[in-house]
Amino acid sequence: MIAGATAGFIAKHLPVLVVLVPLMAAPACLITGNRHATWAIATLASWTSFALTVALFIRVAGQGPLSYSLGGWAAPFGIEYRADALNAFILPLIAGIASFALPYARGSIGRDVEPRQQNLFYSALLLCLAGLLGVTITGDVFNIFVFLEISSLASYVLVAAGGGRDRRAFKAAFDYLIMGTIGASFFVIGIGFLYMATGTLNIADLAHRLATAPADRTVRMAYGFILVGIGLKLAMMPLHQWLPNAYSYAPPAVTAFLAATATKVSLYVLIRFLYTVFGLDDPFEAQTLKLLVMPLGIIGIFAASTVAIFQNDIRRMFAWSSIAQAGYMLTGIALMTPQGLAASLVNIVNHGLTKGALFMAVGMLTLATGTSRLSDLRGIGRTMPWTMAAILAGGLGLIGVPLTAGFISKWALVSAALDAGQWWLAGAVLLSSLLALGYVWRIVETACFGKADETRVIEPVPLAMVIPAWGLLAVSLYAGVQPALIMEGANAAARSLLPHLTGVGG
């Protein structure tokens, strides 16, 4: 009886519970204080949240979009939480990565944060998770801004948590704060223009009103501000300056979590605005995407991959590779076809899994050796063969070798480009893989063929780090061998966003 009532309650409030569980667990961590208890609360909250997102995904896949009126105030006046094929597809990735990152943090955070402050760290991580989930599930554009700032403020703190070991983390967090706030302010100015033009903040209502009215200068201003603001948050090529430092100096668990989720959520927001809100019927909007975002994406792929080859710090190398990967996703979005969009969505998930696992493995390496400089890691493959194997497996995923998750997303992007008749884009994507091969090869060369330092001290890696890292790697490898589920989810999401284009090219 009670179980039935609980199940009914959860089913009824599912969309809001996804956000509420981590949001409420964060102050609980703050009050509890004890680091073991707070870790348990945080992990439990993220696992619960993950289970709820999976339930939401299954329900949306079976019954179609789900709308929830916050506080019982009906949309468009109240705030609506709306789960459809697109965000129900992204949500499990965010909560899932957090579910791996929290056990991993237990093993690694002792290096960066004092024991008595660790409850604050877990609170910040949960707030960041709640913010990211909130951005993804909400159907109200101003609510997106609020949740985006919750997650961003928490992530500045999380990056600065690396300052105990390396003071450069403080400066990295400060720069991230400045850039992130400028991005968020641009975004909120864009929302202001949208409100001026339409008088509504609800996404579905906005989409309806913008589709029926011809686009004027106010709407175009909104489009520009939102594109730049979100471009900053997702590290679109000329706006990427904050990312390499933030990823390099943050604690390993934070880097793994942020690299796999934060920029991905921003990409989701971009997709939501471009395809649902603006709809790209206005030639100005479509041309901007084609003539600005697409070239920036391709420049990003080549420039960031080239910079990655010349990095000596292994974390910084993979941070630059993340900027290049954002380029692939932007290119897919800018193709404006269901296939291109589906390719980007597949890449968001596959790259999230791969990069998360990769940064976890790199974290193990730096914890054991005390350095992340390639020049100090010569011959490390002989002393730490398993960790290097994990890094190599992730690296192969970045190159896009068959049977890895990265191959699936590159294949999807290349075939989408060919379907759209952009053969040169397909060529560019394939060519850029050689650059990824370049930086992964540098690691292999140093680790396996370098002369080992006999005096090197290797510290044991806690099992709490090893298990989540290999677990996440296993998920990413599985996504490479059995891509059907992710492909179907991405295709369904892309079809729901571009219904008037279904059937083009199959």
Partner 1 sequence: MADLIRSIAGHYNYWMFVILMMTGLFIVVSRGNLIKKIAGLNIFQTSVFLFYISMGKVTGGTAPVNTGRAGEVYSNPLPHVLILTAIVVGIATTAVGLALAVRIKESYGSIEEDVIEDMHRTERPA
| Residue 30 touching partner 1 (CB under 8 A) | no
Q: Which stretch binds partner 1 (CB under 8 A): 95-103, 156-164, 230-238, 483-491?
A: 156-164
| Residue 145 touching partner 1 (CB under 8 A) | yes
> What is the smallest separation between the CB atom of 162 and partner 1, expressed in angstroms?
12
| Residue 171 touching partner 1 (CB under 8 A) | yes
CA 155 to chain centre: 13
Task: Encode burial over 284-307: b for 16+ CB neighbours within 10 A, e otherwise.
Answer: ebbebbeeebbebbbebbbbbbeb
Q: Are 171 and 57 in contact (CB under 8 A)?
A: no
| Residue 163 touching partner 1 (CB under 8 A) | yes
Beta bridge partners of 408: none
Q: Are 473 and 393 in contact (CB under 8 A)?
A: yes
Q: Which stretch binds partner 1 (CB under 8 A): 167-175, 291-299, 359-367, 425-433?
A: 167-175
Q: Compute the distance between CA of residue 271 and CA of residue 464 in angstroms, rounded to an integer.
A: 36
**Which tokens in the block code for residue 162?**
């690396």
- Distances from the Cα of 341 to the Cα of 280, 311, 325, 380, angstroms: 13, 31, 15, 40
Nearer to partner 1, 176 or 359 (CB): 176
**Which tokens in the block code for residue 493?**
């999401």
Nearer to partner 1, 53 or 446 (CB): 446
DSSP state of 452: P
Nearer to partner 1, 93 or 188 (CB): 188
| Residue 153 touching partner 1 (CB under 8 A) | yes
For residue 67, give the H/E element and its range.
strand 66-69
Nearer to partner 1, 158 or 357 (CB): 158
Q: Are 104 and 256 in contact (CB under 8 A)?
A: yes
- Residues within window 177-216 making contact with partner 1, judged by CB under 8 A: 177-178, 181-182, 184-185, 188-189, 192, 195-196
Q: Compute the distance between CA of residue 232 and CA of residue 228 in angstroms, rounded to an integer.
A: 6
Nearer to partner 1, 282 or 313 (CB): 313
Q: Compute the distance between CA of residue 123 and CA of residue 300 in angstroms, rounded to an integer.
A: 34
Q: Are 72 and 66 in contact (CB under 8 A)?
A: no
Q: Compute the distance between CA of residue 26 and CA of residue 124 in angstroms, rounded to an integer.
A: 7
Q: Are 364 and 394 in contact (CB under 8 A)?
A: no
| Residue 167 touching partner 1 (CB under 8 A) | yes
CA 208 to chain centre: 28
Options 12, 36, 116, 168; binder of partner 1; rule CB under 8 A = 168
Options 149, 205, 285, 419; binder of partner 1; rule CB under 8 A = 149
Nearer to partner 1, 56 or 153 (CB): 153
**Which tokens in the block code for residue 237?**
């090529």
Q: Which stretch binds partner 1 (CB under 8 A): 173-181, 263-271, 276-284, 345-353?
A: 173-181
Options 18, 45, 105, 173; binder of partner 1; rule CB under 8 A = 173
Nearer to partner 1, 61 or 189 (CB): 189
Nearer to partner 1, 179 or 236 (CB): 179
Burial (Cβ within 10 Å: 0-12, 13-18, ≥19) of residue 272? buried
345 three-class SS: helix
Q: Which stretch binds partner 1 (CB under 8 A): 128-136, 151-159, 342-350, 479-487?
A: 151-159
Options 47, 174, 302, 411; binder of partner 1; rule CB under 8 A = 174
The count of residues interacting with partner 1 (CB under 8 A) is 26
Nearer to partner 1, 113 or 413 (CB): 113
**Phi–psi pair at 83, nearest 5 degrees:** -105, 120
> What is the smallest separation between the CB atom of 210 and partner 1, expressed in angstroms?
18
> What is the smallest separation between the CB atom of 244 and partner 1, expressed in angstroms?
13
Q: Which stretch binds partner 1 (CB under 8 A): 60-68, 78-86, 157-165, 263-271?
A: 157-165
Nearer to partner 1, 201 or 342 (CB): 201
Burial (Cβ within 10 Å: 0-12, 13-18, ≥19) of residue 450? middle
- Distances from the Cα of 365 to the Cα of 273, 361, 368, angstroms: 39, 6, 5
- Residues within window 452-481 making contact with partner 1, judged by CB under 8 A: none
Q: Which stretch binds partner 1 (CB under 8 A): 8-16, 31-39, 42-50, 160-168?
A: 160-168
Nearer to partner 1, 197 or 486 (CB): 197
| Residue 142 touching partner 1 (CB under 8 A) | yes
Alpha-helical runs (H) found in 64-167: 87-108, 118-137, 141-160
> What is the smallest separation between the CB atom of 459 and partner 1, expressed in angstroms?
23
> What is the smallest separation between the CB atom of 163 and partner 1, expressed in angstroms?
6
Q: Which parts of this chain interact with partner 1 (CB under 8 A)?
A: 142, 145-146, 149, 153, 156-157, 160, 163, 167-168, 170-171, 173-174, 177-178, 181-182, 184-185, 188-189, 192, 195-196
